[in-house]
């Protein structure tokens, strides 16, 4: 997801400079720790998507450097990136999510056996990743093994989920409040990388839902965001099924800031232009709480004198 990260970075740099901030570009890779130390930053604005940048590892480095950063902390970032683990937490919090299971690279040949009676169609995607890279919609058992093998190329594990027919809705969150929501409609089955970044998708703001259902979807998204312990900002993807059931797909802790990205579209409809959204994200930059309070000073027990 390097290409999308670079586009996000340049868009954010332009906005920050428009706002009067002094910006230093730092490219993630070998020697990142040395580059961060040398830059003498006040805050790190993360413009990274996918594994390493969005899964808690860079966040952990910034914690060690005691440098505030934008977006969620180490644990929430790791949980959101690991889609099967996130699903377990959604279920623990009684949040509806499509039934699914994890398949490792070593078990690709057993994919049909592991699938059992889960049925078709199903969705296969990398267990850890974003931008819909490696996503497939599988309609029969014969296509399952190739789809799982393709997904496993990106990190070694795949997530296989029950396919849910319906409207794909994404909800934007800033701080701990919902900014709004957007329906994404696309010509192909599955909002894959091509549809997401190379055109063909249609966007409806607000989604084509009743006001009551839209508010329920936004409430479900905020609950999923909180269930993973996210902070700062994020985007939650859901499906609103034809059977009036709404399910959480995933939480994006560092959603895109490219010209075609969804969070800026949602923010614009809420009255925030792009620089204002960037400033709002920057204002919420922080670190995990690591301060230990001093122990309370012991107070000598008081002797009560009772009149008799």
Active site residue 194: no
- Active-site option among 1, 55, 168, 218: 1
pLDDT average, residue stretch 179-199 = 72
Binding site annotation covers 94? no
Three-point CA angle 137, 141, 147, nearest 5°: 45
Binding site annotation covers 107? no
What are the chain's domains?
Answer: 1-96+165-289 (3.30.470.20), 99-162 (3.30.1490.20)
Give SS3 for 90.
helix
- Active-site option among 55, 157, 246, 250: 250
The pTM assigned to this predicted structure is 0.90
The CA distance from 147 to 156, in Å, is 13
Report whether 67 contacts 26 (CB < 8 A).
Answer: no
pLDDT at 131 over 70: no
The share of the chain scoring above pLDDT 90, in percent, equals: 81
pLDDT at 37 over 70: yes
State the pairing for strand pair 177-185/202-204.
antiparallel
In this predicted structure, what is the pLDDT of residue 168? 96
Helix (H) or strand (E) holding 33: helix 32-39
Active site residue 250: yes
- Active-site option among 131, 136, 181, 261: 131
- Active-site option among 100, 172, 197, 214: 197
In this predicted structure, what is the pLDDT of residue 118? 92
Three-point CA angle 172, 275, 4, nearest 5°: 65
The CA distance from 83 to 129, in Å, is 8
Active site residue 131: yes
Phi, psi (5° rounding) for residue 233? Answer: -170, 170
Binding site annotation covers 246? no
Active site residue 256: yes
pLDDT average, residue stretch 280-293 = 89
In this predicted structure, what is the pLDDT of residue 196? 54
In this predicted structure, what is the pLDDT of residue 52? 86
pLDDT at 216 over 70: yes
pLDDT at 291 over 90: no
Active site residue 94: no
Q: How much is the CA Rg of the chain, to the nearest whole Å?
A: 22
Task: Report residue 79 CA to chain centroid gap.
Answer: 9
pLDDT at 195 over 60: no
Structure tokens at 161: 């989920």
């Amino acid at each position: 997801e390097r290409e999308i990260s670079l586009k996000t970075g340049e868009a954010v740099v332009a906005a920050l400079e428009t706002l009067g901030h002094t910006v230093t570009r730092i490219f993630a890779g070998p020697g990142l720790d040395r580059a961060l130390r040398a830059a003498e930053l006040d805050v790190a604005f993360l413009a990274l998507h996918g594994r390493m940048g969005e899964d808690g590892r860079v966040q952990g480095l910034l914690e060690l450097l005691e440098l505030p950063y934008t977006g969620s902390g180490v644990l929430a970032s790791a949980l959101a990136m690991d889609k099967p683990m996130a699903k377990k937490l959604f279920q623990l919090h009684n949040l509806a999510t499509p039934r699914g299971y994890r398949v490792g690279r070593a078990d690709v040949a057993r994919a049909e056996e592991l699938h059992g009676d889960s049925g078709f169609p199903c969705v296969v995607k990398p267990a850890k990743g974003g931008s819909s890279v490696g996503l497939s919609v599988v309609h029969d058992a014969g296509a399952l093994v190739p789809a799982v093998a393709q997904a496993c190329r990106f990190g070694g594990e795949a997530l296989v989920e029950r396919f849910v027919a319906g409207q794909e809705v994404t909800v934007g969150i800033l701080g701990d409040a919902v900014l709004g929501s957007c329906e994404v409609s696309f010509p192909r089955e599955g909002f894959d990388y091509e549809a997401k970044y190379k055109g063909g998708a249609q966007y409806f703001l607000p989604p084509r839902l009743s006001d009551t259902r839209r508010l329920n979807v936004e409430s479900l998204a905020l609950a999923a965001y909180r269930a993973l312990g996210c902070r700062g900002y994020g985007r939650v993807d859901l499906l609103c099924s034809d059977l009036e059931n709404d399910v959480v797909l995933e939480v994006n802790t560092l959603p895109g800031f490219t010209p075609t990205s969804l969070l800026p579209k949602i923010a614009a409809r809420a009255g925030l232009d792009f620089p204002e959204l960037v400033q709002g994200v920057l204002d919420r930059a922080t670190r995990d709480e690591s301060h230990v309070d001093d122990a309370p000073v012991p107070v000598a027990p008081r002797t009560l004198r009772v009149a008799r």
